Structure 1
Amino acid sequence: MTDSNNKHLLEEEAKAFASSGRINYYDIVIDHGKGAVITDADGNDYIDLLASASSTNTGHAHPKVVKAIQDQAAKLIQYTPAYFANTQEARLAPRLAKLAPMSGPVEVSWGLSGSDANDAIIKFARAYTGRQYLVAFTGAYHGSTYGSMSLSSISMNMSRKMAPLLPGVVKVPFPSPWEREPDESEEHFVDRFFREFMRPFETYLPAEETAVILMEAIQGDGGICKTPPAFMKKVYDFAKAHGILFAVDEINQGMGRTGKWWSIQNFDGIEPDLMSVGKSLASGLPLSAVVGRKEIMESLGAPAHLFTTAGNPVTTAAANATLDVFEEEHLLERSAKLGQKAKAFFEAEKEKFDFIGDVRMYGLDGGIDIIDPATGQGDTNATVKLMYRIFELGAIIISLRGNILRFQPPLVITEAQLDQAFTMIDQAFSELAAGKLTLPAKAAEMGW
């Protein structure tokens, strides 16, 4: 890279910024954005296929959200909801409760990030049930606070050097698609993984002492992969039969990402007891919520789960505007429609290129496996070559699990921008197939 604002700013930042705070991909400094386009400090534009880790589903600097933030900031930036309600927060709470995929009275409690929303699930589940054990799945990312980190299983760096983690957490295998044996039927695959799910309960984990089962209905950082519906139903029925709360993490996959408000709505007959929300709730501003059945949410009293700045006037104003944008611009329908377009594109590319394995697309929410055609195994080097070439061509895309391209553009992306991105991706695929791509200099440092 030639001398540039990007380079200068990164060099200065490196003197003061801890390496634990960033997963490395590209040496850029983002300066501004509009819709589905971001611009770096050197003035280079990129089509954003990441949406800031699915936290800007309404796009960058949406005018309605910007105006709501500006108008509210001119009135009142902060007064802690820990002591007094504010007009924006008081309006948002019932709106969010009404959207919850739960019957009966529902309540919310505010936080600052998805991580603390999952901590809240731990608190409320233990308080309501009087039980200690928590069950989560391998491949899950639930956050970086101690509680949410203890529930996660996505990176060794989330546990290395930090033990002991929260006690009472039991991890069970997630039925990821690449765990399915060749020629294995869906029924056999589901039964096999449900036996693994049951193994702790049959050997050392008392069901009657288990408070909650927490899962991502569609794993995000685990590879954008949907839980097999039959497996989900078995786990859900087991929880209900034993008085165990069933909770879903909707931080990455919620807020319209899959073409529905919540990813759990892609499953019939499943109604969570608790749900964590964050990221795009306030179009990327620091606001999260735990949403749950009223009787569960009333099992704790203040100050068991409150924060000085959580639910403050500016972030809740942004969230109210975000919900308005979703309704007025029909972003759920847009995600579903453009998701079908994206699915058709990637499935057509799969027919052209033998290094594309499984293609998973749920609304504008996709995971595309890059494999070694000779072995069928994931090919991390090829994935790094592809994503870096796509970046060079003018789009931001990253990888998951080393060999999965993560496709999560803002839901406001135009069809023209989507087509432009597809042209870049097809060019990168074609160049890889022709042996024209090489690893970037910092390949070993890139990715999770």
Structure 2
Amino acid sequence: MAPRKILDPSKLGQAFRTLSTLNSTAKPATQNAMPECSFLPPAYKGPDYDKITDIRKKNLTPNIVSYYKKPLLIHSGHMQWLFDHDGKRYLDMFGGIVTVSVGHCHPKVNKALEEQVKTLWHTTNIYMHPKIHEYAQRLTDKLPGDLKQVYFVNSGSEANDLAMLMARLHTGNYEILTFKNCYHGMSPYTMGLTAHSTWRFPLPGVSNGIHHVMNPDPYLGIWGGSACRDSPCQTDRKCECNSESGCSAASEYYKQLEQVFKFSLPRGKVAAMFAESIQGVGGTVQFPKSYIKKAAELVRANGGVFIADEVQSGFGRTGEHFWGFEGHGIVPDIVTMAKGIGNGFPLAAVVTTPKIAECLGQALHFNTYGGNPLASSVGLAVLDVIKEEKLQQNSLEVGTYFLKALEDLKQKYDIIGDVRGKGLMIGIEFVSDRVTKTPLSVPHVLEIWESCKDLGVLFGRGGISGNVMRIKPPMCVSFEDVDFALTILETVLSDYHIKKQRSWNRNIRK
């Protein structure tokens, strides 16, 4: 792919630093870096900002935490753009936490929902309605092998919750394996799967039968090198891999997994192993090549099923494949999916084989809203848009370009310790020391993150230390959008570097 010219942040001027000019109606000549958008948001008619803030404090539970020092009051969305209550425009590079897959308020998805609203809202599955059947066939047609039966739910937590139940019922085993640094949900059941202390409450029984195994992280883990990841970007570590023995890091991490089977599992038996194809909340962590395939084989050899969590990595986001697990060369026994499946509409699913699905016949099991006519209509439209607008291909091309450009930024700014990902699932790990990989402290990360927002670009954050910038935009983003995001990021990093240098100089003079 031919290199594209990135705008020079030094030419943007002080006016470029004022967010008030980055809106849908006013754009001075110095603001040409922000791509054009012909959409005009409707006028905001809700409660004023202070009233909203007061309601949030008094009437919403305190665990609902807002991004940014002064939280945004988002009023309208269009494709890759978000607009606040004042009409200011932002480039959304986080997609509602990797949830908006084809674009905010995509016209075709909106139309499908509107038409269904006029026809039938809800019946539950005690009656048949056409949309759930049309969608079930279309969705399972996208999956390989015998993954042909689907159960619809409303969220990723519900999907993983059900997958746990199915795995234990089907196998007759109880123990479940997940990786340290993983995120699989926050229901009381799935909280045990999640291995992030920040997402866990001190409740008894949450982790019963669940084992968190060593995370095979080529950047921060014990083993890893410069050829271990399935990514355009690799770590700076020396690599021990060779064509004959394959990935050395994968082999070493696999030995650690074998130790869990040997010492921690009753008779070595297991019900299931869960794995995100690329860890999302954990900071876009990728596993060494061939590790997941070996792990799945080990799990099955010991009576278990392998469960692929595609909540964030599915539906074409990784570019090369429609499903993230395809990049690992496996066909899972169970696949869970949510977020991008409905472009923000409450929709999720568990897909498995007919043989495994039989276990749910042991008792009644019911989800009131799962597969309702509205959600099924939205799901069908999302599949149509991904195909018609070639968004998987766009994820590959635009995402690869983005990753390569971020790798160039890494060479210029030593606070970037690692750039990783595939397609439009990207992470940037900020460090205070590249050699020790010490995470950049949260106040400094927040300074960078807030400054990007002030200049019109919304990124996410993640990682156990909160030092990873998560980039997972709607898959409709363009090269021009990426150029703008890169310009903003380089402007902010340049300013940060200058401030740090001045601080050092002052300390030396003292």
In structure 2, the residue matched to 1:325 is 385
Whole-Å Cα distance in 2 between the matches of residues 266 and 435 of structure 1?
Answer: 41
Structure 1 vs Structure 2: percent identity of aligned residues? 28
- CA offset digits 1:88-114 (Å, max 9, x no partner): 1110001111112x3136100010100
In structure 2, the residue matched to 1:267 is 328
SS at match of 1:301: helix
Whole-Å Cα distance in 1 between the matches of residues 358 and 403 of structure 2?
Answer: 43
**1:118 corresponds to 2:160:** yes
**Stretch moving more, 234-243 or 50-59:** 234-243
Counterparts of 1:239-318 in structure 2, within 5 Å, are 239-259=299-319, 260-268=321-329, 270-301=330-361, 304-318=364-378
- CA offset digits 1:249-299 (Å, max 9, x no partner): 00011111111211111122x110001010111111111100011110122
In structure 2, the residue matched to 1:9 is 52
Whole-Å Cα distance in 2 between the matches of residues 342 and 45 of structure 1?
Answer: 21
**CA 113–306 in structure 1, closer or farther in 2 if over 3 Å, else same:** same
- CA offset digits 1:143-168 (Å, max 9, x no partner): 111121110012x2433332331521
Whole-Å Cα distance in 1 between the matches of residues 79 and 49 of structure 2?
Answer: 22
How far did residue 23 of structure 1 move? Answer: 5.7
How far did residue 12 of structure 1 move? Answer: 1.9
**CA 77–415 in structure 1, closer or farther in 2 if over 3 Å, else same:** same
**1:161 corresponds to 2:216:** no
Q: Is the 8 A contact 1:6 1:42 kept in 2?
A: no
How far did residue 234 of structure 1 move? Answer: 2.0
In structure 2, the residue matched to 1:398 is 460
Whole-Å Cα distance in 2 between the matches of residues 45 and 302 of structure 1?
Answer: 52
C-alpha RMSD of the superposition: 2.2
**1:61 corresponds to 2:61:** no
Counterparts of 1:31-180 in structure 2, within 5 Å, are 31-81=75-125, 83-100=126-143, 102-104=144-146, 106-154=148-196, 156-176=197-217, 177-180=219-222
SS at match of 2:90: strand
Q: Is the 8 A contact 2:124 2:372 kept in 1?
A: yes
- Using structure 1 for the length normalisation, give the TM-score: 0.92
How far did residue 373 of structure 1 move? Answer: 3.3
How far did residue 191 of structure 1 move? Answer: 3.1
Letter matched to residue 130 of structure 1: G
Q: Residue 444 of structure 2: which of 372, 376, 382 is its match?
A: 382
Q: Is the 8 A contact 1:370 1:382 kept in 2?
A: no
**CA 157–394 in structure 1, closer or farther in 2 if over 3 Å, else same:** same
Whole-Å Cα distance in 1 between the matches of residues 326 and 66 of structure 2?
Answer: 31
In structure 2, the residue matched to 1:197 is 257
Whole-Å Cα distance in 2 between the matches of residues 175 and 408 of structure 1?
Answer: 22
Letter matched to residue 444 of structure 2: A
**1:343 corresponds to 2:386:** no
How far did residue 437 of structure 1 move? Answer: 11
Letter matched to residue 365 of structure 1: M
Whole-Å Cα distance in 2 between the matches of residues 73 and 122 of structure 1?
Answer: 33
Whole-Å Cα distance in 2 between the matches of residues 337 and 24 of structure 1?
Answer: 30
Structure 1 unaligned segments of length 5 or more: list them. Answer: 439-448
Whole-Å Cα distance in 2 between the matches of residues 220 and 105 of structure 1?
Answer: 24
SS at match of 1:197: helix
Whole-Å Cα distance in 2 between the matches of residues 34 and 302 of structure 1?
Answer: 46
**CA 19–34 in structure 1, closer or farther in 2 if over 3 Å, else same:** same
- Using structure 2 for the length normalisation, give the TM-score: 0.81
Letter matched to residue 174 of structure 2: Q
In structure 2, the residue matched to 1:443 is none
Whole-Å Cα distance in 2 between the matches of residues 66 and 47 of structure 1?
Answer: 21
Question: How many aligned positions are there?
Answer: 433
Whole-Å Cα distance in 1 between the matches of residues 501 and 492 of structure 2?
Answer: 8
Q: Residue 433 of structure 1: which of 484, 497, 501 is its match?
A: 497
Letter matched to residue 228 of structure 1: P
Letter matched to residue 176 of structure 2: L
Q: Is the 8 A contact 1:6 1:28 kept in 2?
A: no
Letter matched to residue 125 of structure 1: A
**CA 145–131 in structure 1, closer or farther in 2 if over 3 Å, else same:** same
Letter matched to residue 382 of structure 1: H
Whole-Å Cα distance in 2 between the matches of residues 23 and 234 of structure 1?
Answer: 40
SS at match of 1:318: helix
Letter matched to residue 245 of structure 1: V
How far did residue 417 of structure 1 move? Answer: 2.0
Q: Is the 8 A contact 1:111 1:306 kept in 2?
A: no
How far did residue 431 of structure 1 move? Answer: 0.8
**CA 302–428 in structure 1, closer or farther in 2 if over 3 Å, else same:** farther
Q: Is the 8 A contact 2:270 2:299 kept in 1?
A: no
Q: Is the 8 A contact 2:398 2:478 kept in 1?
A: no
In structure 1, the residue matched to 2:472 is 408
Whole-Å Cα distance in 2 between the matches of residues 352 and 416 of structure 1?
Answer: 22
Q: Is the 8 A contact 2:146 2:352 kept in 1?
A: no
How far did residue 436 of structure 1 move? Answer: 7.0
Letter matched to residue 20 of structure 1: N
**Stretch moving more, 398-407 or 369-378:** 369-378
SS at match of 1:258: coil
SS at match of 2:313: coil
Q: Larger Rg: 1 or 2?
A: 2
How far did residue 416 of structure 1 move? Answer: 2.0
Q: Residue 423 of structure 1: which of 477, 481, 487 is its match?
A: 487
How far did residue 204 of structure 1 move? Answer: 2.9
Letter matched to residue 11 of structure 1: D
Whole-Å Cα distance in 2 between the matches of residues 6 and 347 of structure 1?
Answer: 39
Letter matched to residue 379 of structure 1: L
How far did residue 208 of structure 1 move? Answer: 5.3
- CA offset digits 1:162-201 (Å, max 9, x no partner): 2331521111111122114564635443333223222221
Letter matched to residue 124 of structure 1: M
